[in-house]
Amino acid sequence: MIKTIIFDYDGVVKKSQKLSLDIVDLYKISVEEYEKFIPRLKPIIEKFDKGFIAEEKFWMEFSDAMGKVMPEKCGERAKKMYKDKFVFFPEVIGLIEKLKSEGFRLSILSNMFPYQAEIIKEIHGCSLFDDLFFSCERGLKKPDLEFYELVIREMNVRSQESLFIDDKEENLLPAKKLGMKTVLAKNQEQIVKNIRAIIKSENKI
């Protein structure tokens, strides 16, 4: 029986935003040029994802790794870009509201930069959820199995009674390993349909 539903955020609750497009805009470089730097940028991004470095240091290290001058007011501009492009999936929000009223425990498990998590809270983008597990606040990152184990432990729920939705297959694998039901998010109509189908099947509705 499904009692707990755990959502990724970008690409599930809201439209996904590609960091690469913001970087291209901030640094005035091409996507191809940015992609060349990805191998050396990954460790820096991971540290920021886990909240291990301050925002200013992140942008400094990020710029240095690309051999670029850090753009003026880089952090402020990145925040504005994220906020300006923020679009909820209305059908998913509608489902979340119904699930809340039906008594399901709802949680977020998402890899987030600190400023992204800050904006989501500012605009009350997590008000419908009972538990928040942002990577930048927990020092862990999907698809690390330890992150999923922490969620189950802190929520004090059974993984077999939990459903996890994410838009990346690699992030679903640890959840499956722990016995959770999963949904690979592709579009909002499919997300809603699949969640309802699993609840109907598991809860014998």
pLDDT at residue number 204:
83
pLDDT at residue number 86:
93
pLDDT at residue number 140:
98
Task: Starting at the earlier edge strand, list the strands of the sheet with 162-166.
Answer: 131-134, 105-110, 4-7, 162-166, 181-184
As a whole number of angstroms, the distance between CA 74 and CA 56 comes to 9
pLDDT at residue number 195:
98
pLDDT at residue number 43:
97
Query: Cis omega (within 30 of 0) on the bond before 143?
Result: yes
Whole-structure pTM value: 0.94
pLDDT at residue number 17:
86
Per-residue pLDDT of the chain (205 residues; tens, 9 = 90+): 999 999 999 999 999 988 888 999 999 999 999 999 999 999 999 999 999 999 999 999 999 999 999 999 999 999 999 999 999 999 999 999 999 999 999 999 999 999 999 999 999 889 999 999 999 999 999 999 999 999 999 999 999 999 999 999 999 999 999 999 999 999 999 999 999 999 999 998 7
pLDDT at residue number 104:
97
Per-residue pLDDT of 122-176, as tens digits, reads: 998 899 999 999 999 999 999 999 999 999 999 999 999 999 999 999 999 999 9
pLDDT at residue number 12:
97
